[in-house]
Structure 1
């Protein structure tokens, strides 16, 4: 049976994923601030180092898949540290051990917020892996009202870009490790419960995350997808962010997801015509 390491395993999507895998007979090493096999704080560099070392030790040095679910949504600078560095540095730290598996897999959890408005300066600092600068920038955007802070969205945009930057490199694809992500829509978790507790809150969330298919989703819908992505059956998905969101990304971004190539196509045809 396979051995999985899951961050954010004490609640929400991480807990549902861990429970499903254990029910199927897999070994799961949970990582969280409490109620987990490995208790560590992913908001700090030392906490991430401890999490990696303790997870490897708990797995006796043999890990087949890593599922990075840990995340927070507070309008505070710490959200950038947990959601971005808590994923990237943990994944990078555990990658050498993961690569020794005959069928290694890595999956991260982002959000449909990857397509929402964001702070470019914060995203740029995150992608430079400059945590001190990222915290300084994010600190200027802290707010008492979560709707006035774009720290969460920026962290999710950055993790989505990191995924695409890294997945096809020699460190991941070159080592035989499919690295992919899932972007949930509005999932019923302890993190979203306060946002949905009032009629006004539900209206704001539904406007931000329109869900034409089957409305709000349970954690199990995401857990099932994460489990497949982390399984041996997933052999060729590389750097994909799968939007499991009831159609929210489609509504927000529209039908045309391919026009990025239009300028190149126009240049090719222009050059072809000039050569005749």
Structure 2
């Protein structure tokens, strides 16, 4: 039987590349997005998150093999917090019961190398505590200056997401249930989300100064898709709580030996 997955962010970028790859391999993918998807919902809202779980359960017949939480925003606004952190966590926690019937259940989310960049400690703490109303209020404050403090929102959400994976993966709900939970952390990927940032040679050079990618530079979405597909494959039996940087070397350059 082909594996059945639920994949958010399926309409573009990394999500679309992953969906296309899985379907080329003969797998069934229930795509989720705000448009052009089998399940059309807004993951920035509680209603959208609940609808995702309900519809995924209905379409799948109550059982799936993998969850790909890919959907995300990169704007200096509270919506980035709502989708990137709370939407992602709700996707994984809400769909986890549907994994119970799989012989090889898997789950993966997309974080970012931006987790290594400057962030807002207060926002990260509120996200770590799961306090959505307070986190949204803090993001509102940061968003008042999009060019400075607003830029901290995305990094903060991705840092909190990476921490969430590390904290949750080895618990009874995930590892104890035989479900590997991991994350991919891309560098700069050529997607609609980054199109404005890499439109010119000068813009690319400036961005790569902040996000160094010495190995082959800016990547195409398929690069991340291949990693996500393996993380959620039957072959991956023991990776647990890992945040894997597929970033052309940004993590190496920016952190060096500090993690060891």
- State the TM bucket, normalised to the shorter chain: over 0.9
Q: 1:92 to 1:235 in 2, by over 3 A?
A: same
Determine if contact 2:77/2:150 at 8 Å carries over to the other structure: no
Secondary structure of 1:74's counterpart equals coil
In 2: Cα distance, 1:225 partner to 1:147 partner: 32
* Counterpart for residue 33 of structure 1: 34
Note the alpha carbon deviations across 1:113-158, whole angstroms, 9 max, x for none.
Answer: 1111100110111111111000000100013437852000000000
Give the structure 1 partner of residue 68 of structure 2. Answer: 67
Structure 1's consecutive aligned runs of 4 or more residues displaced over 3 angstroms after TM superposition are none
SS at the partner of 1:100? coil
Query: Which of 218, 223, 226 is residue 224 of structure 1 equivalent to?
Result: 226
1:208-236, Cα deviation, whole Å (9 max, x unpaired): 11011011111001000000000000000
Gaps of 5+ in 2: none
2:177 corresponds to: 175
TM-score (norm 2): 0.97
Q: Where in structure 2 are the equivalents of 1:201-240 lying within 5 Å?
A: 201-240=203-242
Equivalent position of 2:119 in the other structure:
118
Q: CA deviation at 1:14?
A: 0.4
1:162 deviates by: 0.3
Spell out, residue by residue over 1:58-97, the C-alpha distance to the aligned partner (whole angstroms, 9 max, x if none): 1111200001100000000110010000100110011111
Contact 2:142–2:149 (CA<8 Å) still a contact in 1?
no
CA distance in structure 1 between the partners assigned to 2:57 and 2:36 by the alignment: 18
Offset from partner CA, 1:226-270 (integer Å, 9 cap, x none): 000000000000000000111011101113421xxxxxxxxxxxx
When normalised by structure 1's length, the TM-score is 0.91
- Choose 67-76 or 249-258, whichever is displaced more: 249-258
CA contact (8 A) 1:138 1:151 kept: yes
Q: Secondary structure at the match of 1:43?
A: coil
Distance (Å, rounded) in 2 between the aligned partners of 1:48 and 1:87 = 9
SS of residue matched to 1:183: strand
Corresponding residue number in structure 2 for 1:22: 23
Shift of 1:200: 4.3
Q: What's the C-alpha RMSD, in Å, of the aligned pairs? A: 1.2
Counterpart Cα distance in 1 of 2:130 and 2:203: 34
